[in-house]
Structure 1
Amino acid sequence: MAALDAELIRCRACPRLVEWREETARVKRKAFQDWDYWGRPVPGWGPPDAALAIVGLAPAAHGGNRTGRMFTGDRSGDVLFAALNDVGLASQPTSTARDDGLELRGVRVTAPVHCAPPANKPTPEERLTCRPWLTRELQLLRPTLRAVVVLGAFGWQALLPSLAEAGWEVPRPLPAFGHGAHSRLTDSRGAPDLHLLGCYHVSQQNTFTGRLTPTMLRDVLRHAAALAGLPEGGERLEG
């Protein structure tokens, strides 16, 4: 996984995204003028033998693109990591920088697009170009991965082809996204099933309007952790 992450951060495959992430890192937001922005593709993070994965959309321009870590340094991350801490899957409720001491317990956080996109909207072509990174990450996680929480419809649609390419049998017709959606995927090699769960994205648009509440998010994460064999605290249950 470390080798994959090291390769990923050198990617320059999407000209529009490269230009945007680097321009954002150069100009900066006024509140972060003293930051040395990351300005590169942002890899997934968390243990390489995670039982649970959380899949978002893409790094935020002044969040992950600034800090170099998914959901770190933005309002969406504030909501996500507070909930993960509440259910015992993160060592602290905040994520502000790569060296802030936060540890994920049995969980890996990633996204189908690894560069910050303008207006938070990758194009279908950019999503397709970035897909091999997610597929390879899932292949590495496959021996231990038992559940995935997908934040938002974009991530759900992007994840399904990667799951198929990584070796899981995706049902037909394709499972539909929805908050609380739950689909069970079999493994083509006979390994344990993978549980796929939907959750509204932790965007400000959803959390500020009450479409996604902390209780709703915690409920999905607790359900996913139980399905993945993770108790409160994130250590894998025996058997």
Structure 2
Amino acid sequence: MIAALYVETDGAYFNLAGIDPWDIRRDARTYPGPWPVVAHPPCQRWGRYWHGAPRKPHQFRLGTDEGCFASALTAVRNFGGVIEHPKDSHAWRYFGLATPPSSGGWVKADAFGGWTCCVWQGHYGHFAGKATWLYVVTMGSDGFLFDDPILPELTWGPSDSGPTQEMVERYGYEKARRVGRMALVGGKDKTRIRNSTPPEFRDLPISMARSASPKNSFSQPAKESK
């Protein structure tokens, strides 16, 4: 079993065998274990406009996400699994995680056995490229961290997120290239498309989480010796 935390109601992680989805109604901050997790904590207060919209800056304080990222980090360190956040998330610096190179590849993230990388979801079916940082912790069946875990070789480097032919024909190449794909998606679908997780990419963190111990964690009491 894999617990999918902070996911969209009826979204990509629902109705999947072996996946226990935690949407806003269940409050993933209260996740007690014991299963490894795939966590998508809210990113609004960690991104480029963490302080608010450009026309109304400094409405918010950095990282005021009601403890969502902190609880996701605790869950991954206790039970194993993956956190997904947008590239350049301020949460990495705030929580002392190493910044992964944009060119790709896994690097050690911290002293808690975590590893991190940068990957573009455009290689896995996303419309707009969507550069993403991953934080991963894997454990053995005894609940102890792997010192040198086997991590997947992903498709590294930026994906093609330039203008489509339809956009070039409609707006001209210069404007289409300047504003990017997502800026040319209008209406209510814009946010949905940007936030969506393609099935091919969704399956990557799920497969990584499955390598973590399903039942053991550092939060469990040690067994008494006989």
TM-score (structure 2 length as normaliser):
0.39
- Pair member with larger Rg: 2
TM-score (structure 1 length as normaliser):
0.38
Higher helix share: 1
